[in-house]
Amino acid sequence: MVPAVCAGELLAFGRGNGWGAEKLRILEELLSNLLVLETARRPVLEAYAEVAERLRTAPIGQNDLWVAAAARAAGAVLLTTDTDFDRLHPDFIQREYIDQRAILAGQK
């Protein structure tokens, strides 16, 4: 599952970085195999309000608010390389942190 805002960010990233037609086709194929969670659903909107209120004194990025809200509304585990979600874990959302540096170091 991927929140709609993440799907949009992925498409914008690919296009903005000059990905060729084949690489964009592969991204589109990947997205077609995922459940894209629409953020306009009432449970996501309610969760957005909860997350925004919880983080009122230490806000995170707008899209990250939507991502956290989608994860909360769906009861999903949020996979992230972003430590901003740590403030919501474990009592508000469940998240699994993926350390990119460790993955990249293992590839060398």
- Each residue's pLDDT tens digit, 52-95: 999 999 989 999 999 999 999 999 999 999 999 999 999 999 99
Q: What is the mean pLDDT of the chain?
A: 94
- Mean pLDDT, residues 24-44 taken together: 95
Quote the pTM value.
0.85
Exposure string (b/e) for 59-77, b if CB count within 10 Å is 16 or more?
Answer: ebeeebbbbbbbbbbbebe
DSSP β-ladder status, 36-37 and 2-3: parallel
Range of the domain at 32: 2-107
What integer pLDDT is reported at residue 102 of this predicted model?
86
How many domains, the chain?
1
Q: Give the pLDDT band (50/70/90) at residue 104.
A: confident
CATH code, 64: 3.40.50.1010
